[in-house]
């Protein structure tokens, strides 16, 4: 049963190797190695110098996509927010799919650990790293944030767990042994400030998941419940605006919460 949950959780894009030709030629491509020796690609995008912040976003993408499919988004994210972006691939996704790697929850954790280690080992201070996950990418993001001292955590359309997202709270109690990405058990261990944005009409990951994590966070800022939008149609301009505002708030210091109806009102 646990294997079935895992297989349903990872609908890997089945793209031909030729699709990754341009990705593998990029100058900002780096190869990461997990603790099990799995090699995964990552893109380390530098923000334009004229507006560059002393911040790096460690980005974990959503499901049914891979690093090559979301390149336009993460490139625009760096240019629009002024933050450098390291976007890494999950084990068993993208080019690593052709190396007999199989996607799994633990593989995602190994991948984000390799990405964090790469940044720290290349001189990026943990206090300047903001962990950012979208959809299923909030699983490895929350897990990492619960174990390290990062500058902040951004969760876009987050799951509270795979079972709770799909079947609700009651089912998660009975099915806890096979649940994955159990964010609701880890949020209380996240010591940095947390910003959550979620479409109110999301029928893939219900808004209740984002609301549940907002209540569990130690240091939440005002969330952005974005009216009328679902899981995959929140305009990029809206996302960039909220991410930039959160980074501004982190740079300005202050308390862990912003006043209701303030910077992050939707």
Catalytic residues: 135, 202, 231
Q: State how far the alpha carbon of 20 is from the alpha carbons of 66, 69, 98, 134, 245, in Å.
A: 10, 9, 11, 22, 33
- Whole-angstrom Cα distance, residue 43 to residue 68? 9
The owner of tokens 């010591």 is 191
The owner of tokens 């990705």 is 23
CA quadruple 173, 175, 180, 184: dihedral, nearest 10: 0
Assess contact for 202 and 176: CB atoms under 8 A: no
Assess contact for 129 and 119: CB atoms under 8 A: yes
- Whole-angstrom Cα distance, residue 204 to residue 188? 25
């Amino acid at each position: 049963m646990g294997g079935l949950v895992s297989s349903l959780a990872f609908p890997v894009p089945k793209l031909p190797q030729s699709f990754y030709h341009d990705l593998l030629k990029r100058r900002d491509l780096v190869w990461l190695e997990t603790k099990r020796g799995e090699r995964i690609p990552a893109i380390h995008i530098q923000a334009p110098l004229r507006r560059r912040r002393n911040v790096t976003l460690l980005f974990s993408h959503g499901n049914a996509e891979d690093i090559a499919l979301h390149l336009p988004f993460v490139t625009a994210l760096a240019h629009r927010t002024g933050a450098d972006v390291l976007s890494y691939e999950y084990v068993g996704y993208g080019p690593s799919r052709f190396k007999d790697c199989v996607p799994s929850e633990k593989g995602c954790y190994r991948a984000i650990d390799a990405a964090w280690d790469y940044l720290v080992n290349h001189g990026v201070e943990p206090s300047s790293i903001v962990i950012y996950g979208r959809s299923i990418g909030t699983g490895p993001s929350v897990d990492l944030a619960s174990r390290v001292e990062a500058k902040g955590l951004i969760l876009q359309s987050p799951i509270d767990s795979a079972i709770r997202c799909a079947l609700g709270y009651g089912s998660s109690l009975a099915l806890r042994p096979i649940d994955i990405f159990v964010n609701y058990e880890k949020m209380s261990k996240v010591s940095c400030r947390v910003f959550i944005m979620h479409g109110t009409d999301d029928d893939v990951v219900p808004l209740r998941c984002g609301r549940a994590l907002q209540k569990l966070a130690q240091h939440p800022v005002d969330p952005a419940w974005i009216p009328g939008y679902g899981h995959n149609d929140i305009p990029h301009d809206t996302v960039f605006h909220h991410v930039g505002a959160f980074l501004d708030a982190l740079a300005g210091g202050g308390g862990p919460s912003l006043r209701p109806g303030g910077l992050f009102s939707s």
